Each structure stands twice: as structure tokens, then as C-alpha cells.
Amino acid sequence: MTGYIAGRILQGLINILFITVLVFVLARASGDPLEAFVPDDASEATIQLVRDRLGLNEPMHVQYWIFFKGLLVGDLGESKILKEPVTKLLVERLPATFSLAAVAMGIAMVMALPLGVLSAVYRDTWIDRVAKIIAFLGQSSPQFWIAIMLMILFSVLLGWLPVAGRSGPSSYVLPGFVMGWFVIAGLVRLTRSSMLDVLDSDYITMARGKGLHERTVIWKHALRNAMIPVLTYSGLILGGFMNGSVVIEAVFAWPGIGRLALDAVQGRDYPVVQGVVIMVGVFFVVINLLVDITYAIVNPRIKYSTS
């Protein structure tokens, strides 16, 4: 397994390198990057000075090398709007995004896994019908609408929770639930279908024939083998959560990565957009690596080889 992990880490580094090349090329394919740093009425002398300072008068491969060396030391440039290093802005926003992602994923897993398992075990009963209704509502209800309705109910009418902002533990409840609500729908459906496949397998029949308690058969043997597709889906969702939810962070005025990206796009803050895109790619590569390693922990039957 050590060789497999080393190979996956190498693949991840190659993927990250490809992401940096792609970001570099697309940024220049959309126009001259210098337009993001100088006003339209700048003099020719000013334009040339900025071009020299940023190395934009060098050949493309030299420009990429300058760009890549900056990435190695954490230099993503400076925000043209906020006049602060992009790395500093990302680091300041990461705790808010990470903590909200953890809360949302926790809510989704706690609600979806038991409901999906019970829906499969008690198929075609009222429990199964309730799970299907929740899944339908979760996938069909817009996030911004649910957020507004919950804000009106719990913040405006009842006054139990803060309307917006990141002020304490209570401020995580509404945005965390709204972020996790859509994921609950997908996890319930995926857990149910995986469990149905596993419950009809021969080794589950054998486990029951050996006299094991039904609770042990369901929650230890069946669920553990049904978790592979659930882990894959959860890894992709967690990657999206950690990169920030633009809708949720905009509605709840949450100071995270998603809101930073939205403000940067609206203000054409080229360095910040570039930094967010690179960070998004790195997060997905790392999370996919962790999911692959978790496969062997959840299901010991999976064996990795170096071939």
C-alpha cells in the first residue's frame, strides 16, 4: 500500500503542475494580464514600467517560470482591489470556509447515512417513502430559497439564530444546514441503492445464516461494503464545500472563499481569481488522494498493488 500511496502522491503533483499550466495559459488567452493592473488612461511609460516589473515582456516560458517560482514560495500576487497579497486573503478566509464545510458535511452524513440505510432495509415502507420525499425535496429546492425561508422563520420571526455573518456557534446552524441539505438528498439515494445491492449478495445471506444479529449484519457488514460509492461522492462534495459555496456565502454574508471569489470576479480582480482557481484544484487533488486511502480502511478486501 505504501507504493500505491507514493504513486498517487506523484500523480497528484503532476495534476497540480498541469493545473498551474492551464491557469497560466487560460489567463493569457483571455487577454493581456496587464489590463488588470493598469487603468485605461495610463501613460505608455507607466504601462511599460508595470510590464517590466511583472515580467510580461519576457517570453512565455520565462513568464511561466516566474509564475511557478512564485507559487513555490506562496506568492500568488497582489489583489488589485484590496491591495493585499492574495495568499494572505486566502489564508484569512480559509478558517471560515473549512469550519462551515465541516459543519455542513457533518449534518449531511449524520442525517443521510441512517436514513439511507433504513430506507434500504425497510424498502417499500413508510420509512422508504419518507426518505424518497426528502431526497426529492433536497434536489428540487433551490438553496437560496431555502436559505431565505429559514432566515425569515428562525431569525426574523423567532429570533433564535443570527441572520447573517460569522459571530459564533449559532451562526453556523442555518448556513451549515442549507449547504448540507442538497447533499443529504444525494447521499440518501446513493446509500439506499448501494445498500440494496449489498443486501442481496451471498455473503450477507451467509452472515445471517451464521446466526449473526441483524443489527451486526446491517451496520457492520452491509454498510461497510456499501460505503465505497458513498465515500467517492462525499469526497467530491467535501472538495466543493472547502472551496466555498458562492450562493450560501453570499446570502449569509459569510466571509469565506466563495464570497471572496464572487467579489473578485465582479471586480475583475485577476490575481485573486487565479489564486482561488489554483487552490480549488489543489483541494480536489488532495481530497481524492485521501478518499483513495480511505477505501482500504473502510473495506479491507480492497488490496492495492504497485503494478
* Structural domain ending residue among the three candidates 42, 72, 102: 72
Alpha-carbon distances, residue 57 vs 31, 40, 52, 121 (angstroms) = 14, 19, 6, 66
Mean pLDDT confidence for 105-110: 88
Note whether residue 103 is domain-resident. Answer: yes
45 φ, ψ to 5°? -65, -40
| DSSP secondary structure of 222-277 | IHHHHHHHHHHHHHHHHHHHHT--HHHHHHTT--SHHHHHHHHHHTT-HHHHHHHH
Single-letter residue type at 125? T
pLDDT tens digits along 175-209: 888 888 878 888 888 888 888 888 877 777 777 77
Q: Which domain holds residue 246?
A: 87-298
Full-model pTM: 0.75
From 41, 72, 103, give the residue that closes a domain: 72
Percent of the chain at pLDDT > 70 equals 86
Tell me the C-alpha distance between 100 and 97, whole Å: 5
Residues 141-156, mean pLDDT to the nearest whole number: 86
Residue 300 has pLDDT above 60, yes or no: no
Contact status, residue 167 vs residue 254, Cβ threshold 8 Å: no
* In a domain? residue 77: no
Within-domain flag for 290: yes
Q: Give the per-residue pLDDT at 306.
A: 47
Residue (of 187, 175, 290, 291) closest to 244 by Cα position: 175
| 8 A C-beta contact, residue 15 and residue 280 | no
In the chain, pLDDT over 90 holds for what percent of residues? Answer: 0
Q: What's the confidence (pLDDT) of residue 31?
A: 63
User: What is the predicted pLDDT for the residue at 129?
Assistant: 87
Residue 204 sits in a domain whose CATH number is 1.10.3720.10
pLDDT of residue 237: 82
Residues sharing a CB contact under 8 Å with residue 232, sequence separation 6 or more, in sequence order: 291
State which amino acid sits at residue 281: G
What are the Cα distances from residue 181, in Å, to 120, 144, 152? Answer: 20, 12, 17
pLDDT of 41 > 80? The answer is: no
Residue with cell 450477507: 204
Nearest to residue 113, comparing CAs of 234, 200, 238, 215?
234
Whether pLDDT at 112 is above 80: yes
Is a pLDDT exceeding 50 seen at residue 307?
no
Map residue 78 onto helix, strand or coil: strand
Average pLDDT over residues 65-76: 82
How high is the pLDDT of residue 266? 78
Among 72, 96, 113, the domain-final residue is 72
The runs of H, that is alpha helices, within the chain are: 2-29, 44-54, 60-72, 86-121, 126-140, 143-150, 173-199, 202-209, 214-216, 223-242, 246-251, 257-266, 270-298
Do both 206 and 288 map to the same domain? yes
If asked whether residues 229 and 148 sit together in one domain, one would say: yes
The reported pLDDT for the residue numbered 274 is 82
Q: What pLDDT, on the 0 to 100 scale, is given for residue 303?
A: 58
Tell me how far apart the alpha carbons of residues 160 and 155 are, in angstroms, rounded to a whole number: 6
| pLDDT tier for residue 140 given thresholds of 50, 70 and 90 | confident
Per-residue pLDDT at 56 exceeds 70:
no
Counting the structural domains of the chain, the total is 2
Task: Please check whether residues 59 and 168 belong to one and the same domain.
Answer: no
Are 52 and 113 in the same domain? no
pLDDT of 304 > 60? The answer is no
Q: Is the pLDDT of residue 169 over 80?
A: yes
pLDDT at 35: 63
Mean pLDDT (the chain) is 80
Q: What is the pLDDT of residues 214-264, one digit of tens each?
A: 777 787 778 877 887 887 888 778 877 776 677 888 888 888 888 888 888
Cell of 110: 449524520
Rounded average pLDDT over 112-130: 86
- Residue 220 and residue 105 in one domain: yes
Mean pLDDT for 169-177 is 88
With respect to residue 67, please indicate whether it lies within any of the assigned structural domains.
yes
Judged against a pLDDT cut of 60, whether residue 141 lies above it is answered with yes
Q: Is pLDDT above 60 for 133?
A: yes
